[in-house]
Chain A
Amino acid sequence: MGFREALHSGKFLITAEIGPGKGTETDELLEDAELIKGKVDAINVTDLQSSVMRLGSMAVCHLLKDHGIDPILQMTCRDRNRLALQSDLLSAWVLGIRNVLSLTGDHPTLGDHPQSMPVFDLDSVSLLKVIKRLNEGVDMAGNQLKGAPDFLPGAVVNPGADTEAALEMQIIKMEKKIEAGAEFFQTQGIFDLDLFERFMKRVEGFKTEILGGIILLKSAGMARFMNKNVAGVFVPEPLIKEMEVTKDKVKTSVEIAARLIKGMKDMCQGVHIMAIGWEKRIPLVLEDAEL
């Protein structure tokens, strides 16, 4: 069953995420993917995450497809203008990629080539509109396509936006994304279930499927780093303490993730697991979460 079928089947959805590395080495990546294959409904492949130059998302999605995994192509607006974005969408389709996640993208100054020109010709909302149009057989300029794709478009939302204004604008933008065709949402990593529950109540009635984000904590230091530097991620102090005092970081990390998944299971339609290098532990998390 592909991701689209899973999305409409009513089952609790599970997606994971892998980040290609810097260079042409793909063995480890594919090994990780093989380990979680069959346990997840789809795997996202990030698009130069954190604005660091790496192997591209489209090529790795294609490799996943060859390995029998349904990939979700993450596409940011940071590096390509509307010509390149549309062309890459068509290319992705002919390579067998069926799901696209639309993102604005981090600014280049946050990555390893800070002098590069930030493009942002489109943003996450307008890219969704473009995907919708291409699906209808027309490009952004109104020209007819000879052969059209039929992508499943998705988007992201940050339920942990830390000011009232930022959260309100996230919700307004989420509505615009739904209107622009987003059929599913993957959220930023959630560590506070009360906050997530309030967010889910707030967007109750939005016609879309929401996959709550799960980030595997590797250490207390990582949690503190994210609290300081990653927008929308807030790891409460008790969880940091748990990671600090544990003798077995992997075990505790898996336990925390599984606990969060169990907690959000009745709130949303699925989970999106961002293991950030710990992909091999995803099966343990799923087992612990009884999924």
Chain B
Amino acid sequence: MIVAEIKPLAEIKEMVKKYRKVLIVGCGACVTVCLSGGKKQVELLASALRTVKKMEGEDAVIGERTIPRQCELKFIEQMKDEASQYEAILSMGCGAGVQSIAEDLENIPVLPAMNTLFIGASDGRGTWIELCAACGDCILWRTGGICPVARCAKRLIYGPCGGSQGGRCEVSKDNPCVWQQIYTRLMKLNQLHLLMGSSQPKAWPVHPRKLVREDLKLKKEPTGV
């Protein structure tokens, strides 16, 4: 999932200070799963903003709406009428959600309530870790299903640096050395030979990236006879 966290309230307050009518929009996908931008968090943020506005003597209208996915046009379209009654939208989706809404609702400012962090997963104990760098050239088949591009601080794809101590990363002792983990996993899989393979330096993707699926493109109407 895409992992995001809510911005500090002071920053959100600053963003919305000139708007009296604000619609907070949650997203039912990744940010709901990582407990940061779903229906519940929309309620909490709305109530916090109402209190803030009230304390400042403002008669504000803070609306709440959560759509299944902010990165999908059809769901944005469904809230268009409601959105048009507000001066600003405060999105609790990831950066893709904010931009998808802004693209569709051209005349209303769309503000980010979240900082989008990474693609990752939860350990089930309140910690989320980055797992995928979306590098566009997956090598997980030869690294025991553990990604060094996302999980090595130096993105080393040829093997570890000499900096680990006791199996921990030189950058932070809180993190395991991912190459140590890869070694252990490959040993269990009886695939240590994969470490001997040589790889080419990565071709880094050019941003912004785009995926075009010819098979899904709308077929052109046949031109008239």
Contacts and interface: CB of A to CB of B under 8 A. Distances in A.
> How many residues of A sit at the interface, in one of the four size bands?
35 or more
Interface string B155-183: 11111111111110011100001011001
Given A118-B154, A169-B179, A231-B165, A107 B201 contact: no
A207 B15 CA distance: 63
Nearest to B153: A107
Interface in A117-135: 118, 120-126
Contact of B158 (A109, A165, A173, A232): A173
B153 A118 contact: yes
Contact of B159 (A107, A172, A179): A172
A121 B196 contact: no
A106 B170 contact: yes
Given A123-B154, A176-B198, A168 B183 contact: yes
A188 B162 contact: yes
B141 interface: no
A169 B154 contact: no
A120 B162 CA distance: 14
A199 to B, nearest CB: 13
Interface in A77-135: 82, 104-107, 109-110, 118, 120-126
A156 interface: yes
A181 to B, nearest CB: 13
Given A122-B201, A165-B180, A169-B183, A104 B167 contact: no
Nearest to B195: A172
Contact of B164 (A124, A166, A173): A166
Nearest to A163: B167
B160 A173 contact: yes
A158 interface: yes
Contact of B156 (A123, A140, A158, A161): A123
A82 B162 contact: no
B84 interface: no
Interface string A167-181: 011101101100100
A1 B204 CA distance: 43
Nearest to B159: A173
A interface, over-half SS: mixed
Contacts of A158: 162
B170 A107 contact: yes
Interface in B132-157: 153-157
A287 interface: no
B184 interface: yes
B25 to A, nearest CB: 32
A179 B196 CA distance: 11
B70 to A, nearest CB: 29
A231 B201 CA distance: 26
A162 interface: yes
Contacts of B179: 169
A76 B56 CA distance: 54
Contacts of A173: 158-160
Contacts of B184: 165
A157 B170 CA distance: 16
Nearest to A161: B162
Contact of B195 (A120, A125, A169): A169
B94 to A, nearest CB: 22
A120 B160 contact: no
Given A166-B164, A231-B163, A110 B154 contact: no
Contact of A107 (B154, B187, B202): B154
Nearest to A229: B165
Nearest to B183: A165
A261 B161 CA distance: 26
Given A107-B163, A169-B195, A176-B198, 14 more contacts: A104-B162, A107-B171, A110-B171, A121-B201, A121-B204, A123-B154, A123-B161, A126-B201, A161-B162, A161-B164, A163-B180, A165-B167, A165-B183, A176-B158
The 8 closest A-B pairs by CB, nearest first: A158-B162, A165-B183, A173-B159, A120-B154, A125-B158, A126-B201, A104-B161, A231-B163
Interface of B: 153-167, 170-172, 177, 179-180, 183-184, 187, 195-196, 198, 201-202, 204
5 contacts: A109-B153, A109-B172, A170-B162, A172-B159, A173-B159
